[in-house]
Structure 1
């Protein structure tokens, strides 16, 4: 008797499933097609992005080789093109390299390009700081200490990636301006930072030796 009831229940379930399929099959099929299309689209996007990145990487290396061969005008043009056409990461690197190529013929114009990168909020903080330092390095011999301070102070924070170089440039600029107090401030900051590179620490100590002794009260 129980077997009969089992057969009846099975038949009822089949009938219910059949009705559900007849009612919702179009939606189930459409959903499956959408999932397949979405996965295929994502895979296609990943492939195209990887292809673009590989092409940009090859073009970047080719531009770098032109620079190493002292073909700076050609390298500048190649980096400038990548700065507008390459994927995001290569665009930023290419802007930095294009500015470096300009620096070989016009340091002031290169400093302006670096300033533009430093002011671009879409660029990461480390890249902004690097641009600040590159510009300041080009202008060290021609600009005032106050201008250097304005440019570099954001890059001297304890967590800043390039803080060591920024502090050294400020110390040099203050020394050139005969500002012993400011020079000593930055040299002390270099000395007290446990992560200061050994070579930079040695240069700071050498500059410290050139300062007049602190007056005793």
Structure 2
């Protein structure tokens, strides 16, 4: 007896299903172990990445805590093991930690009147392109402030040229060094104009603006801003550069 069309269709579907099952079995027998292996490797790699990431976070937190405790100890006058801790942190793979540690090393060197060591550290920071630019710029300014008396005025001006620009976060400190260098060159007119520019820049910290008003006045330039800053009682001696530890912080 002939198979009815509908029965024939059902039969073909059953055949197709059996063929697909057979193909699936063959595929798994051939590639199953490889697929399972790749999944295991992938999960292991992901787990390893999570572990590494967690370890990095733990290490970063540990270094941050070490640096914070060290600075707290220094403020309290405790210096035990400071050099060893700073030396380790100065080798950190984390740029901010490394920069902060090196700046602290330089500050301690200055405190101990070891200017050559401080200059060398500041120079290393400024030349390290792996550090954030703001730290490199700060180090360059402080290096220049420490070396100021032994530098040619034009060398100071050239070094500060990229920073003594309005809008730069370090404009006040860099421009002040440049202006004093101009005074040493005998270029009082240009120095006075630069001091006036500092005095009228509201992004510059008030202490620097106050000094700029005073210095501009000494040079015969009226630099008092429309909203005058409060003048400090202590007068700045003409020709004296800003101290290395008084460089302004960048405005945020």
| Fold conserved between structures, TM > 0.5 | yes
Give SS of 1:155's match. coil
Structure 1 residue 104 corresponds to structure 2 residue 99: no
Q: Which residue of 1 aligns with 2:45?
A: 38
| Greater Cα offset, 41-50 or 113-122 | 113-122
Q: Which residue of 2 aligns with 1:153?
A: 161
Q: Which residue of 2 aligns with 1:132?
A: 140
Work out whether residues 123 and 140 of structure 2, in 8 Å CA contact, stay in contact via their aligned partners in 1: yes
Q: Which residue of 2 aligns with 1:15?
A: 22
Work out whether residues 126 and 136 of structure 2, in 8 Å CA contact, stay in contact via their aligned partners in 1: yes
Q: Which residue of 2 aligns with 1:167?
A: 175
Are the structure 2 counterparts of residues 71 and 102 from structure 1 closer, same or farther at C-alpha, using a change threshold of 3 Å? farther
Work out whether residues 179 and 192 of structure 2, in 8 Å CA contact, stay in contact via their aligned partners in 1: yes
Q: TM-score, normalised by structure 2?
A: 0.73
Question: Partners of 1:162 and 1:5 in 2: how far apart?
Answer: 82
Q: 1:121 aligns with which of 114, 129, 136?
A: 129
Runs of 4+ residues deviating >6 angstroms: none
Question: Partners of 1:6 and 1:55 in 2: how far apart?
Answer: 66
Q: 1:208 aligns with which of 216, 219, 238?
A: 216
Work out whether residues 72 and 104 of structure 1, in 8 Å CA contact, stay in contact via their aligned partners in 2: no
**Displacement, 1:158?**
4.9
Task: Compare relative contact order (CA 8 Å, sep 6+) and give the higher one, 1 or 2.
Answer: 2
More helix by share: 1
Question: Partners of 1:191 and 1:121 in 2: how far apart?
Answer: 32
Question: Partners of 1:64 and 1:177 in 2: how far apart?
Answer: 40
Are the structure 2 counterparts of residues 33 and 158 from structure 1 closer, same or farther at C-alpha, using a change threshold of 3 Å? farther
Question: Partners of 2:159 and 2:85 in 1: how far apart?
Answer: 28
Question: Partners of 1:76 and 1:185 in 2: how far apart?
Answer: 44
Q: How many residue pairs align between the two structures?
A: 214
Q: TM-score, normalised by structure 1?
A: 0.84
Are the structure 2 counterparts of residues 59 and 208 from structure 1 closer, same or farther at C-alpha, using a change threshold of 3 Å? same
Question: Partners of 1:146 and 1:57 in 2: how far apart?
Answer: 40
- Larger of the two Rg values belongs to structure: 2
Question: Partners of 1:154 and 1:146 in 2: how far apart?
Answer: 14
| Greater Cα offset, 74-83 or 94-103 | 74-83
**Displacement, 1:3?**
3.0
Give SS of 2:217's match. helix
Residue segments in structure 2 that go unaligned for 5+ positions in a row: 1-6, 223-252
Question: Partners of 1:118 and 1:37 in 2: how far apart?
Answer: 41
Are the structure 2 counterparts of residues 33 and 177 from structure 1 closer, same or farther at C-alpha, using a change threshold of 3 Å? same
**Displacement, 1:83?**
0.6
Q: Which residue of 1 aligns with 2:88?
A: 81
